[in-house]
Structure 1
Amino acid sequence: MKIDKILIATTNKGKLREFKKLFNEFGIEILSLEDMDKKINVEEDRKTFLENAIKKAKEYGDFYKIPVIAEDAGLEVEALNGYPGVYSARFYSIDFGGKFSIEENIDKTNVKKLLKLLEGKENRKGRFVSVVVFYVPENFGIWTEGYCYGSIAKQPKGDKGFGYDPIFIPENYTKTLGEFDLEEKNKISHRGQAVKKLIEKLKKLIN
């Protein structure tokens, strides 16, 4: 299978930066949704990470006629019955735990809400989940998943990551993902694990 470019179906600069780093060895041109002239919006309205990722990959791939990598990822917290889960990116706006108004930015508002809901709770275990789908329009598709287990800090620390990184402490570490350098983070992160599995599969297909 000859592939010279792949669309990463995201506008999240932090996520795109991580994907580009992970795909360095292939010499494939990596595009984001911001690089595309025509714009479409695919709503993430499914109930699972996999269903959301498949929907995004297929709709963007069929529209742009280009191989697509789409991911859905999020944070699941035990004490909150798995929330924020698939609502991680817009946790501030859903009814669970009450809606929060955006203050400085969405990421910080999501973090503020999560920490508020965990006040007084002893169980702070959680895990990041990433499901990555690779789709070649009307031809082929594969998917992989990755996990990063850890706990929720009581206050944010670090400014190197995005999303919930500043309050997530991976197992066997004492610092948050927000304090990790990108290369260090990719070695243990949920996205890093899922993409590495995907790359191993793609190595057998890309020439």
Structure 2
Amino acid sequence: MRILIASTNKGKIEEFRRILEPLGFEVVEPKEKIEVEERGETFLENACLKAKAYFERYGIPTLADDSGLIADAISPYPGIYSSRFYSIDFGGKEEVKTTKDEANIRKLLRLLKGKKERSAKFVVVLFFYGGDRGFFVEGEVRGRISEEPRGEKGFGYDPVFIPEGYDKTFGELTPEEKDRISHRGRAIRKFLEIIKGCEGVFT
């Protein structure tokens, strides 16, 4: 089965590919980014907007991801603003010196500096859309924010997120270790359980 991933984020696409392709799915990467106004107030609303926009452009059953980090001390932030946290007014804007990911992390650590409360969670909603029908699944992993970035694997906030039961950040874990426990890995496995029962519906 061919599945289009509604994203041009190389890190996300690679995570989907690592899990789905060994199971016989063909992961299709968009040839170009579609500018989707993420005007939703929830991860689900934004995932739905992206899935429908990419399906309309490419005509391939589409899996969209909307995800983010929520730090309890400043909840609900970064939240649905995770990818552009550096640019929003909450907590003051952060200058992009190297990458947007680095600016997001720098702002997060600045806002948490000196705080004892460093618990956080990664949340994801996957919305699968095939034209006239679709469904969604959710995934979550709890952990805490480190004092400084550690590790160069992964992407986004991975270098500062330490999952429960570990002393390493996502940025220090191997891809296989991360896939077993990550919010996205958990959501993809839920998606697989549902899609198995939908044979012939979305193809």
Give the counterpart of 1:183 among 176, 188, 193: 176
Q: Tell me by how many angstroms 1:62 deviates.
A: 2.1
Measured on the aligned residues, the alpha-carbon RMSD in Å equals: 1.2
- Unaligned 5+ runs, structure 1: none
Runs of 4+ deviating beyond 4 Å = none
- Secondary structure at the aligned position of 2:53 is classed as helix
- Unaligned 5+ runs, structure 2: none
Give the distance between the partners of 1:206 and 1:187, measured in 2 at CA.
25
Give the counterpart of 1:163 among 150, 153, 156: 156
Count of matched residue positions in the alignment of Structure 1 and Structure 2: 200
- Secondary structure at the aligned position of 2:171 is classed as helix
Deviations 1:62-84 (A, max 9, x none): 23211000010000011002200
Please say if residues 69 and 120 of structure 2, whose CA atoms lie closer than 8 Å, have aligned partners that are also in contact.
yes
Q: Within 5 Å, give how 1:57-72 maps onto structure 2.
A: 57-72=51-66
> Given the alignment of the two structures, is residue 83 of structure 1 paired with residue 80 of structure 2, yes or no?
no
Give the counterpart of 2:107 among 105, 113, 117: 113
- Secondary structure at the aligned position of 2:129 is classed as strand
Q: TM-score, normalised by structure 2?
A: 0.95
Percentage identity across paired residues of the two chains: 50
2:134 is aligned to 141
Q: Tell me by how many angstroms 1:120 deviates.
A: 1.1
Deviations 1:153-195 (A, max 9, x none): 0000000110000000000110100011111101000000111
Q: TM-score, normalised by structure 1?
A: 0.93
2:17 is aligned to 20
Give the distance between the partners of 2:9 and 2:57, measured in 1 at CA.
20
Deviations 1:63-116 (A, max 9, x none): 321100001000001100220000000000000000111011010110000000
Give the distance between the partners of 1:29 and 1:172, measured in 2 at CA.
33
Q: Tell me by how many angstroms 1:16 deviates.
A: 0.4
Give the distance between the partners of 2:80 and 2:129, measured in 1 at CA.
21
